[in-house]
Structure 1
């Protein structure tokens, strides 16, 4: 079972990136603008786009991505059924390594669930 603390991980990532935000503000602002434009509601809903982003995070083995996108999916009222279906596609496309990261997603989902 995954032992990642995704809540702490996302806080650490934000904290650790603070110096880069100060030294490279234009680049990081541009990244934020790119994220905002890509995730903007359109033909796909914000929830669909977050599910896609999380699937990419799983198949690319990115624990930080898992934390940030699970948090966003909770805010968008994603259901566990929607999450589980997306995870099944991750396993289909990414095989065993993706399955191992699915365990991280499930733990993050439970840990970050609104109380």
Structure 2
């Protein structure tokens, strides 16, 4: 398995490098990332649980390590995290089901065009 803490530190260093080369890109990302905290509708733990589930669905290891750490920091239990990850699993399965329906639709269109 990955050394998640080391990976996070290395990743943040590389993102710092990107910030030096393209400061507007990183500043834009930071503004976007912080926008949700300004509304106050969700607490930090809930936002991090959502972020972790989305990180799984987008298959982003960097997002996983950052948001796993933040979820723990904001008091998320392993059980809460597992439940949020269960939502990610269901959504990925649901997306595969929807795209399976689309694939069958494409097959039918090709068969009709023969």
With normalisation by structure 2, the TM-score equals 0.74
Equivalence for 1:47: 45
From the superposition, tell whether residues 59 and 49 of structure 1 become closer, same or farther in structure 2 (CA, over 3 Å): same
Equivalence for 1:30: 28
Spell out the pairing of 1:1-115 with structure 2 (5 A cutoff). 3-40=1-38, 42-95=40-93
- Stretches of structure 1 that go unaligned for 5 or more consecutive residues are 96-115
With normalisation by structure 1, the TM-score equals 0.73
From the superposition, tell whether residues 40 and 48 of structure 1 become closer, same or farther in structure 2 (CA, over 3 Å): farther
Residues 21-69 of structure 1, C-alpha deviations (whole Å, 9 max, x = no match) = 1121122112112111124462211111111111110011111111000
CA RMSD of aligned residues (A): 1.4
- Stretches of structure 2 that go unaligned for 5 or more consecutive residues are 94-114
Greater gyration radius:
2
**Stretches of 4+ aligned residues off by more than 6 angstroms:** none
Q: For the Cα contact (< 8 Å) 1:40–1:46, is it kept in 2?
A: no
From the superposition, tell whether residues 51 and 87 of structure 1 become closer, same or farther in structure 2 (CA, over 3 Å): same
Counterpart-to-counterpart distance in 1, 2:19 and 2:68: 23
Q: For the Cα contact (< 8 Å) 2:48–2:70, is it kept in 1?
A: yes
Where is the helix percentage greater, Structure 1 or Structure 2? 2
